[in-house]
Amino acid sequence: MTNKATGVPLAGKGTPTDPAGTNQPSFALNEKESKEDPANNLYAYFKTAWDNADEPISCDITITDENQGNRLFLAWPQNGNSGLIMDEPASGQSTGSIRFGKPNTGDKVGILLATAEEREVDLVFELNDIQGGEGFQFSFKDGDKVLKNIFLNKDLRAFNVKEMSRGRDGKDAEDGMFKIPGGIYLATEWSGLSETTLKNNYISSWEEFQKVTFVAALPQSYIDLTNTSRGNGHGFALGEVKGANMNFYAIKSTDDEYEPNQASSHDEVFVGNACFTIKVEDPLNLNDKYKLSLQNVRLATNKDYTDNHYYVTNDVLIGITNNTNNDDDEVAKNTYLVTNGAPITVTAVPSSSQADAKTLLNEGAVPVPALHTGIYRWQG
């Protein structure tokens, strides 16, 4: 909770209340005190009496059970006790006011509580708008020191991609064996797309998908780092893969109709390795900070069969991993951007060269790449 006028976070100060309730929190009035600092008895955690998020905050003396409503408390981390923020109701009233300070004293500061609606945002447009609709870059702390950092100084553009399906004959089918999963894809090269696709940030055809180069988890770019578990998809680097060169075979190895010769193998990249889940870290305050993951990934997780790719059942987070395999080696100081490392928060920043790329595109100087059929291995 933040003071709208001053921007100072709401915080309480004092010592935890004892069971008798003789100690009460007071309000931290200045910015220096408005932070979480238990050593100096400053607290910024709040809870309702019964941790019931489905009930409105209230204090109703007409309720016969002992809690008399879902009261709001300032939570003291040290011992679990709480300081009461909601007063007892005044005479003739069923609901008390909400304030810091002991009831019936002059030490009272009113608090306005508001319910924030969920903000429906198209993340693709939000990301691309960082550069006026032309793209963005992802950065994170000390990213220039991280090895295999695909995002370092890399111009990106996000696209919503329609789920598409084809049968063995290469024709569109409702539930074909070849699919492009619907979701968000991060492009590094998109010069061959139509104006409509660029305007809407939406790819809805196989042909246009195959023209684009995307960021994807590379199934054979495993890095043997400290405490990496290859079997759960940890330690694989990200790279760039053209849509035309991806494998679209959708049947999992656990399904009866699975055909091993159709699935991705060796250095082929399964299309799901490029379909990102992007979550806003703080939808209300930090709209340019995101966490990245993949949910439909196939990697060479078996060290004995590195040419074969296996479906990773858990979500694959994008993060960093320190390498300390050899304490006597300089490599021990290196950090890598890999799958299932310690999750990182990336910040969307303006792209460095999108304006130039747009000029080239308008002048027709960028050739449209030839359309390939992709890796389908048609039979019949």
Q: Give the mean pLDDT of 338-357.
A: 76
Residue 24 — pLDDT band, cuts 50, 70, 90?
low
The reply to whether 100 and 210 lie within a common domain is no
- Given 115, 135, 153, the domain boundary residue is 115
On whether residue 213 sits in a domain, the answer given is: yes
Whether residues 193 and 52 share a domain: the answer is no
Is 37 in contact with 118 (CB distance < 8 Å)?
Answer: no
Closest CA to 275 of 162, 177, 135: 162
Same domain, 318 and 222: yes
The CB-side HSE value for 325 (13 A sphere, CA atoms) comes to 11
Residues 180 and 253 in one domain: yes
Q: Please give the angle made by the CA atoms of 178, 374 and 203, to the nearest 5 degrees.
A: 75
Percent of the chain with pLDDT over 90: 41
Residues 281, 161 share a domain: yes
Residue 26 sits in the same domain as residue 97: yes
Q: Would residue 368 count as lying in a domain?
A: no
CA nearest 303: which of 233, 217, 251, 226? 233
The answer to whether residue 61 sits within a structural domain is yes
Same domain, 212 and 152: yes
282 shares its domain with 342: yes
What is the residue-wise DSSP string for 90-124? Answer: PTT-SB--BEES-TTSS--EE----PPPP----HH
Give the residue from 91, 115, 139 where a domain finishes. 115
Residue-wise pLDDT tens digits, 210-246:
999 999 999 999 998 888 899 999 999 999 999 999 9
**Residue 369 covered by a domain:** no
Burial of 275 (0-12, 13-18, 19+ CB in 10 A): buried
State which H helix or E strand residue 237 sits in: strand 236-242
Residue 357 DSSP SS3: helix
Query: Is the separation of the CB atoms in 321 and 341 below 8 Å?
Result: yes
Same domain, 38 and 109: yes
The total domain count for the chain is 2
Indicate if the pLDDT at residue 349 is higher than 70.
yes
Lowest-confidence segment of 122-131, 272-281, 367-376 by average pLDDT: 367-376
Residue 82 has a pLDDT of: 46
Show which of 93, 115, 137 is a domain's final residue: 115
Single out the residue of 40, 52, 44 nearest to residue 83, CA to CA: 44
- A 10 A CB-CB count for 258 gives 13
Q: pTM of the prediction? A: 0.64
pLDDT value, residue 78? 45
* Within a domain: 370: no
For residue 293, tell me if it sits in a domain: yes
Nearest to 113 by CA among 50, 82, 70, 65: 70
379 found inside a domain: no
Mean pLDDT along residues 262-286: 87
- Structural domain boundaries, residue 73: 1-115
Reference 134, options 152, 160, 157; nearest CA is 157
Per-residue pLDDT of 53-84, as tens digits, reads 555 555 555 555 555 556 555 554 444 444 54
Pairwise CA distance, residues 350 & 134, whole Å: 9
Compute the mean pLDDT over every residue in the chain, rounded to the nearest whole number: 74
Indicate whether 378 belongs to any domain.
no
CB neighbour class for 324 (10 Å; exposed up to 12, middle 13-18, buried from 19): middle
Same domain, 63 and 35: yes
- Strand bridging mode 202-203 / 157-161: parallel
Q: 331 is written with which tokens?
A: 């490599």
> Which residues fall within 8 angstroms of residue 121, CB to CB, at 6 or more apart?
280, 283, 287
Q: Are residues 107 and 176 in the same domain?
A: no
In angstroms, the CA 86 to CA 64 distance is 18
Do both 99 and 153 map to the same domain?
A: no
pLDDT at residue 95 in the model: 47
